[in-house]
Amino acid sequence: MWQIENAFYANENDTGFTGYLSEDNLFLILAIEGVSRENGQAILQSLRTGILSSAFNYLAQFELKLTEVITENNLPTNFSLAAGYRKNNILYLKTSSTGNVLICRKKHLVKIIGGEKTASGYVENDDLFIFTTDNFIEAAGGENGLHKELGNRLPKEIIEKITPKLSGVKSNQKAALFIKFLLVEFARPANPITHSRNGADLHDIFFSKLHSAYLFLQGEQAGAPRKKRALTFIIVGIIFLIFLWSVVFGYQRRKNADIQSRLNAAKESVNQKLSQADDASYLSIPRAISLINEAKDDVDNLRKEIGNRPEVAAIDKMIGDEENKILKVQEKPVDEFFDLTVDNPQAKGIRLYLDGDSAIILDNGQKTVYILSLTKKSLNKYSFGELQNATMIASDQSNPLFYVEGAGIYKIDDQGKLSKVIDADSNWGNIQSMIAFNGNLYLLDPSKDTIDKYVGTGMGYATRSAYFQGGENGLTGANSMAIDSSVYVGFPDHIFKFTAGSQDDFKTEFPDPQINIKKIFTDKNVDKVYAWDKTRGSIYVLSKDGTYSQEINSPVLKQSNDFVVYDNDAYILAGAKIYKMSMN
Average confidence (pLDDT) over 150-166 = 90
Query: Which strands make up the sheet holding 433-437, listed edge to edge?
Result: 433-437, 440-445, 450-454, 465-466
Structural domain of 558: 331-582
**CA atoms of 574 and 577, how far apart (whole Å):** 5
| CA end-to-end distance (rounded Å), the chain | 54
Are residues 338 and 319 located together in one domain of the fold?
no
| pLDDT at residue 533 in the model | 97
**Could you report the per-residue pLDDT of 507-525, keeping only the tens digit for each?**
888 888 789 999 999 999 9
Phi, psi of 406 (to 5 degrees): 85, -10
Domain with residue 382: its CATH number is 2.130.10.10
Q: Give the β-pairing of 368-373 and 379-383.
A: antiparallel
Average pLDDT of the residues of the chain: 87
**CA atoms of 316 and 447, how far apart (whole Å):** 45
The DSSP secondary-structure symbol of 257 reads: H
Note the residue count of the chain: 584
**Could you report the per-residue pLDDT of 71-91, keeping only the tens digit for each?**
888 887 778 999 999 988 889
Alpha helices (runs of H) in 12-102, residue ranges in sequence order:
37-52, 59-72
Are residues 407 and 551 located together in one domain of the fold?
yes
| pLDDT at residue 250 in the model | 66
**Could you report the per-residue pLDDT of 303-321, keeping only the tens digit for each?**
988 888 889 999 999 999 9
Percentages (nearest 5) of helix, strand, coil residues in the chain: 30, 35, 35
Helix (H, G, I), strand (E, B) or coil at 456: strand
Annotate 175-223 with DSSP letters as a single string. Answer: EEEEEEEEE--PPPPS-GGGS-TTTS-HHHHHHHHHHHHHHHHHHHTTT
**CA atoms of 24 and 21, how far apart (whole Å):** 10
Task: Give which of 448, 419, 95, 93 is closest to 269, Cα–Cα.
Answer: 93
Question: Among 120-129, 161-170, 425-434, 539-548, which stretch is predicted with the lowest mean pLDDT?
Answer: 161-170
Helix (H, G, I), strand (E, B) or coil at 573: strand
The last residue of one of the domains, among 130, 151, 183, is: 183
Domain with residue 115: its CATH number is 3.60.40.10
Is residue 192 very low, low, confident or very high in pLDDT (cuts 50, 70, 90)?
very low
Are residues 130 and 201 located together in one domain of the fold?
no
Question: Among 31-40, 140-149, 188-197, which stretch is predicted with the lowest mean pLDDT?
Answer: 188-197
Contacts of 552 (CB under 8 A, 6+ apart): 329, 330, 332, 538, 539, 541, 570, 581, 583
Are residues 62 and 83 located together in one domain of the fold?
yes
Are residues 514 and 389 located together in one domain of the fold?
yes
Are residues 437 and 514 located together in one domain of the fold?
yes
Are residues 214 and 337 located together in one domain of the fold?
no
Are residues 367 and 245 located together in one domain of the fold?
no
pTM beyond 0.85, yes or no: no
Residues 549 and 528 sit within 8 Å (Cβ to Cβ): yes
SS (H, E, C) 370-399: EEEECCCCCEEEEECHHHHHEEEEEEECCE
What stretch of H or E contains 466? strand 465-466
The DSSP secondary-structure symbol of 349 reads: B
> CA torsion angle for 38, 65, 302, 511 (degrees, to 10)?
-120
**CA atoms of 256 and 184, how far apart (whole Å):** 20
Question: Among 112-116, 180-184, 244-248, 272-276, which stretch is predicted with the lowest mean pLDDT?
Answer: 244-248
The last residue of one of the domains, among 163, 183, 203, is: 183
Are residues 451 and 505 located together in one domain of the fold?
yes
Residues 444 and 432 sit within 8 Å (Cβ to Cβ): yes
Are residues 170 and 203 located together in one domain of the fold?
no
What stretch of H or E contains 445? strand 440-445
Average confidence (pLDDT) over 430-435 = 97
Helix (H, G, I), strand (E, B) or coil at 433: strand
Are residues 400 and 541 located together in one domain of the fold?
yes
What stretch of H or E contains 535? none
The last residue of one of the domains, among 283, 299, 327, is: 327
Annotate 97-131 with DSSP letters as a single string. Answer: TTEEEEEEETTEEEEEEESSEEEEEE--TT-EEEE
Are residues 396 and 521 located together in one domain of the fold?
yes
> Which amino acid, 311?
E
**CA atoms of 27 and 6, how far apart (whole Å):** 9
How many domains would you assign to the chain?
3
Average confidence (pLDDT) over 102-109 = 90
